[in-house]
A and B are shown apart, each in its own frame.
Chain A
Amino acid sequence: MAALVAAGWWPAMAGAAEWNRLAFEAKTFEDVLKALGGVDAKASGDVVLVAPEIAENGAVVPLQISSRSPATDMLAVLVEKNPNVLAAVFEVPEGTVADFQTRVKMAQTSNVFVLARSGGRYLYAVKEIKVTLGGCGG
């Protein structure tokens, strides 16, 4: 069953959009952007990443991601130096605030991007987070 899921043959659970394998297996910001339907992205002060400067434990790095751009309908988090860059994609329905908190793993010191889609445009913010103890080791 797991192999079938891994191979993409097993149908996604009823009601859930299909998991975006292409985006989650992408290795660069540009490839993730493309897989999420974007062509180019612009740095924007409307997109905000709140995160520690230094993460002592790369296994648990708390992040707050948000967008003040009013038409934001998607927010994503990318960790540039993780083996798979994309960590999460949040679809933001009408009525939901484009402001999320979650925790990510970081293998090493890396740029972390927040990518927002607003009115069909892709906007981002980036910040380097230093990691003293990586979170993806064996």
Chain B
Amino acid sequence: MANPMKVRAAVDGDTVLVKALMSHVMETGRRTNDKGETIPAHFIQQVTVTHKGRVVLSAQWGTSISANPFLSFRFRGGAKGETVKVAWVDSKGDSRTDEAIIT
């Protein structure tokens, strides 16, 4: 089971500012360990952010995103007390969903 991510969502003018810090190795598949063996690729491929059942962001990532990925963006139409959900799926089919209440 993947580690939880930190999600924050806060009203910022007429938008909601979402920040997510995910916990993931983001292995490229090009590194080797100290025995010279290739470390298999393992990275987040899909990120989906939803608000009241509506997708407010859909992203696809490759191996160039840094380990423990950070993402920040804004959307309109959210209000205090509502929930924002952030979900990812990685190249091994692992997934993780976390949420935050908009403050």
Question: Taking beta carbons and an 8 Å cutoff, which residues of A are in contact with B?
Answer: 1-2, 5-6, 10, 12-13, 15-17, 19-20, 24, 59-62, 77, 79, 82-84, 86-93, 95-97, 99-106, 135-138
Contact = CB atoms under 8 A, between A and B. Distances in A.
Nearest to A66: B73
Interface residues of B, number: 40
A6 to B, nearest CB: 7
Contact of B64 (A62, A82, A138): A82
Contact of A2 (B31, B45, B73, B92): B92
Contacts of B72: 100-102
Given A1-B93, A59-B67, A101 B73 contact: yes
A84 B63 contact: yes
A49 to B, nearest CB: 15
Interface string B60-102: 1111111101111111110000000000010111010000000
A102 B58 contact: no
Given A2-B91, A16-B89, A93-B57, A103 B15 contact: no
Contact of B65 (A6, A17, A103): A103
